[in-house]
Amino acid sequence: MTMRTVFVSLLGIVMAITAAGAVDSSTDEQAVRKVLASFDEAFNKHDANAVAALYTDDAEFINISGMWWRGREEIRRGTAFVLANIFQNTTIQTDSVSVRFPTRDTAIAVIAQHTVGSFVLPNGTRISGTNARLTYFLVKAGGRWMIAGGQNTEIKPGLHDPSKE
């Protein structure tokens, strides 16, 4: 066997392994987007159980106020509270979604969304609406995409990023 034959054989094996581990971008991206759409649907139905079911058992979420919820049950409990006491007359609408796959079993989604309808904070402040950017880290386990972590950040009106000038 010549060195060229060995090299070509090894190259073929590496390409086969790489292809086997590659993300099926269209199918996986559709599945991730479905999880995110299911979140919106559950939130808009004010169904904290359905929201929580999208998270892994050990997921973490930091809400727009900075509250850090750890674990699916705490996420369910926190979501139930805000849906019943703050967002009871509010829905959310996603404006844009960006998805990328650092590995074949992980995804990062960045979402821009806004609230529809006003809401009242626990301190009595009425808010007519918000714009937010959320970042989700999703994992694929057993063929199913689930949210493992998330962060919600308010987009302040009128602010711009001076580092991009």
What's the pLDDT tens digit per position in 9-56? 443 443 444 444 445 678 999 999 999 999 999 999 999 999 999 999
CA-to-CA distance for 38 and 45, rounded, in angstroms? 10
Say what the pTM is.
Answer: 0.81
Max CA pair span of the chain: 80
How would you classify residue 12: left for phi > 0, otherwise alpha for psi between -120 and 50, otherwise beta?
alpha
Give residue 57's pLDDT: 97
pLDDT for 8 beyond 50 = no
Which domains does the chain possess?
23-156 (3.10.450.50)
pLDDT at 24: 61
pLDDT of 68-81, one tens digit each?
Answer: 999 999 999 999 99
Calculate the alpha carbon distances from 78 to 99, 100, 134 in Å: 26, 28, 17
